[in-house]
Copies of this chain bind each other. A is one copy, B any other.
Amino acid sequence: MRDRALCAALSDAELSLLNRSAVRRRLVRGEALFHAGGSARCGNLISGLLKISAVDSEGREQIVALAFPGDFVGRLDGSEPHDVTALGPAELCLFPRAVMAAALDRHRRMEQLLMARTRAAMDEARDRLSRWLRGPAEDRVMALLTELAARAGSPSFTLPLTRGDMADALGLTLETVSRVMSRLRAAGRIQAAGRTRITLPPA
């Protein structure tokens, strides 16, 4: 994990120093890590999957990003504009903001890594604008499934989101997602064992 996280920039000595203020945290499905408004901590996702979401004025939830293992979560300035919630069992390594900020200040390489990640997150958000939130529902669902397969590193994977979560991510309703999944299965564009075991044909 360490090589995937920001800590890759640190020496062993520095790492153990940082680790003294580290807090391990485990979440279960649906448990909130942060709420919109602020947080005193930030850190890395070790395992599991998080959703980063906003709730609009009508009370509907929009997922603006997913966090995968190795991703940095939280803000250095404590301004957390979104809710961050576990989609399943998840494990994190958290630090007080001040500690993280000091580490970044000390290690330029670490700061550059964070910069690169932020850029990547921006590109991902923009990508989603074009690939997940336009066009017919079928295309959106396929785009999401394709992304998850890519992240899983295999065309066969366990779907970590409920239909409702998928709907919130894609800007659709739960029912539409369900119908589309059924249609995709019937058309042979995906294979499904149970409700969460998905396989994408080579195509």
The distance from the CB of A126 to the nearest CB of chain B, in whole angstroms, is 4
**Which of chain B's residues have a CB closer than 8 A to the CB of A122?**
118, 121-122, 125
Taking a contact as CB atoms closer than 8 A, the residue among B60, B111, B123 that contacts A81 in the complex is B123
User: CA of A7 to CA of B32 in the docked complex: distance in angstroms?
Assistant: 40
Is A171's CB within 8 Å of the partner chain B?
yes
Which residues 59-100 of A sit at the B interface, judged by CB distance below 8 A? Answer: 60, 62, 64-65, 81-82
1/0 per residue, CB under 8 A from B, across A41-55: the answer is: 000000000001010
**Which of chain B's residues have a CB closer than 8 A to the CB of A114?**
115
B64 and A131 within 8 A (CB): no
Copies assembled: 2
User: CA of A103 to CA of B72 in the docked complex: distance in angstroms?
Assistant: 27
Is A129's CB within 8 Å of the partner chain B?
yes
A131 and B56 within 8 A (CB): yes
User: CA of A97 to CA of B133 in the docked complex: distance in angstroms?
Assistant: 32
**Which of chain B's residues have a CB closer than 8 A to the CB of A64?**
126-127, 129-130
Is A119's CB within 8 Å of the partner chain B?
yes
User: CA of A65 to CA of B123 in the docked complex: distance in angstroms?
Assistant: 11
The distance from the CB of A194 to the nearest CB of chain B, in whole angstroms, is 30
Closest 9 pairs (CB-CB, A-B): A125-B125, A62-B130, A64-B126, A122-B122, A133-B133, A134-B171, A54-B130, A64-B129, A125-B126
**Which of chain B's residues have a CB closer than 8 A to the CB of A115?**
111, 114-115, 118
B133 and A134 within 8 A (CB): yes
